[in-house]
Amino acid sequence: MEGLVWVIVAVLTVIPMLKLLPFFGIQKWWALIAIIPIGAVVLIWWMSIKLQQMEER
């Protein structure tokens, strides 16, 4: 049962990342890192850095 919950959370995290990452100029396959819990935090941090760079231009 715990494995099923983990799969659901992983899918609910990876699918939005697949849509968001290309907008920030990051290849969409990096979204698979979101399967690891700390990976989602790292991707959000990476997107925020890219957003700051986009705002400076």
**DSSP string over the chain:** -HHHHHHHHHHHHHHHHHHHGGGGT--GGGGGGGGSHHHHHHHHHHHHHHHHHHHH-
> What's the pLDDT tens digit per position in 14-39?
999 999 999 999 999 999 999 998 99
Give the start-to-end residue ranges of the domains of the chain.
2-56
Global pTM reads 0.82
Residue 12 has pLDDT above 90, yes or no: yes
